[in-house]
Structure 1
Amino acid sequence: MSPSFASALAAAREAAGGQNYPGGALYVVATPIGNLADVSLRALHLLQLADAIACEDTRHTQALLRAYGIDKPASAWLAVHQHNEAGASHAVVERLRLGQRVAYASDAGTPAVSDPGARLVAHAREAGYPVMPLPGPSSVTAVLSVAGISAGHGEFVFAGFMPAKAAERDAFVATLAQEPRAVVLLEAPHRIEMLAASLAVLGPRPLTVGRELTKQFEQVHTLACDAFPAWLAADAKHARGEFALVLHPAPVAAALGEGERVLRLLLPELPVKTAVKLAAEISGEPRNALYEAALRLKAGGDAEG
């Protein structure tokens, strides 16, 4: 255990020990997304009390608990991850039937939000056992809190990871172009350049990039979508680490008038980029705005023909 956490366990017992933590219940425990100090006192207390720890990666969570001075016997650990969640849920329910307190933790952040856990929670509820949340760290709320979305635009959509296949990715971006609310995205370092290239078609729409949130070299930067690829290329460090991003709410679009009328005529006959180029030349309207309009028309099936 790190000496800095020696007093944390005592504080956890003092602060959270008064609440009832019944047996035969599944406790969904949020764990730090990078900074170990972000763990809640109630999470520390419950992890000490738990008879069993179900987790995405037993090695990762064992190391996490040991950093806090919590050690559990081998019999207490259950691996529940995306590849075995349906089957492993039965083992968890059996522990609940025996009256055990079972804690579930994913590798980082809040379980069942992009991470595994949702099927386990559903299975436990269907079997008649209570499921209790222990809230805490989440990359989703962390990046939203520093995006500076103005009052009146508080609604957001959590989209998670962008599809890997090109056709699905294009359809995904077309949907983003039509979405007026803020959108939270997640991405891994080996795919961040692909995501940046895909989002660049959204032009000047603001994007807040959260990189390595809560860790020593965390970085938060807001820029236009079409400036994202150049920002990544400017410094090799910019592409390192895990990413949480906020695509800001779409600005209220100005009426495109002639440009949109031309697009409706051209889109059934030409590729999107060609139709946009010609519509911009004919109407004199901004190409980025016309591109977003073209994606909207294609996705909505509004182009003539």
Structure 2
Amino acid sequence: MSPQFQLPFERPIFQLEDQLSQLESQSNPTPAILESIRTVRLELARMKREVFENLDAWDVVKVARHPERPQTLDYIELICDEFIELHGDRTFGDDRAIITGFAKLDDYKVMFIGQQKGRTLKERNECFYGCAHPEGYRKALLKMQMAAKYGLPIVCLIDTPGAYPGVGAEERGQAYTIAYNLREMARLPVPIISVVIGEGGSGGALGIGIGNTVSVLQFAYYSVISPEGCAGILWKHVKFADKAARALKFTGKDLLRFGIVDEVIPEPLGGAHRDHRAMATNLKATIVRQLRALLPLSGPELLEQRYQKFRKIGEFDEVVQTKISQEAPTAEQTLVSNSK
């Protein structure tokens, strides 16, 4: 799949791809053309690797927000053998920003929960661009509790810039609902696997992010605040979003180094938006492997493992180094020594 939307640093890649398409369109290629095709393919692979291995934090944000990046419904279609969607929170309505339902991955039956941004303008308006309301988080928790009742593991896909900040959402208890989800997820005696597939913004991501394992895709980010929000607070202008992105240290490498996530899932060469199927294959392999490791654990073991995982975030060891040095003798000590 070749994306139509071009990021600035992708332009040299698109130019090489156009060149390769022209060469491959030749009806009767000569040996020289075949050699050129081989050379361009090698150069294209080299350029993709060089560009995407050296992205800074702000470029990672751009990739995470790519309009053609696979979303929850794309992954459900590609990795689930079966999926039955469940709707509503039994209180207010059905929030389309969060998709929930029973799913089957190979031999495993799971409860699938994921945030959806939408593709078309109509879908994005229905999903509020992935920003869930309180009813979305209530829906997610109800389905998680149903999964716990039937002993099903839970798989959560995170992709949101943050919870919806509107007046209606606040009136219906946005902050309380997210906080309640955090507490109740920590108590569920079944395996919970959370994966950040795009944006992982603040409490909106945490509302379905309390897992036994938390993973992040290679070009996704997981942060306490968006770069624009951070720039507005610290530098009083959104134009410093790139500076904020670098300061926040929210890319996969940083998150893994700080112990925030357990694993960084590699993306296909050039990013997930270039090959949905290959990315889905990597994601499914990771989820199945994590399920295989967690399912043998008992309920109390899962709870303790989850508790210890989040309890340790932010811990650090303080090492006090005592430097032993000889103090310079005083003038009086020097006089006494010389007199001897």
TM-score, scaled relative to structure 1 = 0.26
- Find the structure with the greater CA-based Rg: 2
Larger helix proportion, structure 1 or 2? 2
TM-score, scaled relative to structure 2 = 0.24
